[in-house]
């Protein structure tokens, strides 16, 4: 790699490009040359089919996986929540970058008064079953409509279609300076596992690049997101399942919240667990088993039917 720039693979949306440029800047600060290589994913090319009908997480990652395996790029930058928890390929996550705001947020062009009026049968847009289920659990009289596209496209759609609002990851809006569109932070909604975190993926036999990129790893974010992804993996839930998980650290204690719901929001199982940080590994799996024992296993089975 001596003398050659590190080829950073990314999708070409504004948010994905911002994330790749962030990694590039960190590597350049360490004295490495970089170049961006843009790769189109299935999820970028098909903007009409609901994500849940496109096979889940792989729709945004497979094209970058292929580019890595074919040596067209040296590393790929992902939103960590897009990565499957099972990876049979000879690729590894060598760094998890420091997390941005993990919360979900509401963009409501005409304001949020409708949230306080139980008589309003509002229409709210999201393509996420997790967001759909939690929203309907809280607002059962509302209607959820599907929305696809990158951040900018979805912001335009929520204005043009006259919907009451749409749900966005706060991190994405903040990273590209669009957080002035946020009408409310949904502090009550449990985010997707690893939401707000970026992952750097490389070939597992590329020891030099593993060493270089491992310096970008943020240990606290890596621990918390790892526990969240443990839960998702243990529940065998996949991207489209209505499962949320969030871990954070306070005073040397790791606090972990998780939720699993029916897609229509009519049934919800939730859990909160804590452990000392040095004993926290495995907490996600323990929480998953408790949720499954409560009855959440039936939710996952329902989804597969």
Annotated catalytic residues are: 82
Residues 6+ apart with CB under 8 A from 231: 193, 243, 245, 258, 284, 285, 287, 288, 291
CA dist 202 and 199 (Å) reads: 10
Strand ranges in the chain using DSSP code E only, listed in sequence order: 6-10, 34-38, 75-79, 91-96, 104-107, 123-125, 143-145, 165-169, 184-185, 198-203, 243-250, 253-261, 268-276
Rg (CA), the chain: 19
Beta strands 165-169; 184-185: pairing state: unpaired
Q: Is residue 271 helix, strand or coil? A: strand
> Hey, what are 105's tokens?
């947020």
- Please state the φ and ψ torsions of residue 51, each to the nearest 5 degrees: -55, -35
- Residue with token string 């440029």: 21
Residues 6+ apart with CB under 8 A from 300: 235, 236, 237, 241, 260
- Please state the φ and ψ torsions of residue 165, each to the nearest 5 degrees: -175, 175
């Amino acid at each position: 790699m001596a003398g050659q720039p590190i080829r950073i693979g990314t999708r070409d949306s504004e948010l994905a490009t911002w994330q790749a440029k962030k990694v590039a800047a960190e590597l350049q600060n360490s004295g490495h040359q970089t170049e961006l290589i843009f790769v189109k994913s299935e999820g970028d090319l098909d903007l009409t089919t609901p994500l849940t009908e496109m096979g889940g997480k792989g729709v945004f990652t497979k094209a970058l996986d292929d580019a890595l395996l074919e040596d067209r790029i040296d590393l790929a930058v992902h939103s960590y929540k897009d990565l499957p928890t099972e990876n049979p390929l000879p690729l590894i996550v060598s760094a998890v970058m420091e997390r941005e705001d993990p919360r979900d947020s509401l963009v409501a062009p005409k304001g949020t008064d409708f949230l306080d009026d139980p008589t309003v049968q509002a229409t709210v847009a999201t393509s996420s079953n997790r967001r759909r289920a939690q929203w309907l659990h809280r607002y059962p009289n509302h209607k959820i409509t599907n929305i696809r596209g990158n951040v900018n496209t979805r912001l335009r759609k929520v204005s043009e279609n006259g919907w009451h609002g749409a749900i966005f990851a706060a991190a994405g809006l903040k990273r590209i300076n669009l957080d002035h569109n946020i009408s409310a932070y949904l502090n009550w909604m449990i985010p997707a596992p690893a939401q707000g975190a970026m992952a750097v993926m490389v070939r597992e036999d590329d020891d030099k690049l593993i060493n270089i990129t491992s310096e970008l790893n943020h240990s606290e974010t890596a621990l918390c997101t790892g526990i969240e992804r443990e839960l998702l993996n243990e529940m065998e839930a996949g991207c489209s399942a209505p499962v949320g998980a969030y871990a954070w650290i306070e005073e040397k204690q790791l606090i972990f919240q998780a939720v699993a719901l029916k897609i229509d929001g009519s049934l919800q199982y939730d859990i909160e667990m804590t452990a000392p940080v040095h004993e926290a590994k495995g907490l996600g799996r323990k929480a998953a088993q408790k949720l499954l024992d409560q009855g959440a296993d039936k939710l996952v089975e329902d989804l597969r039917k």
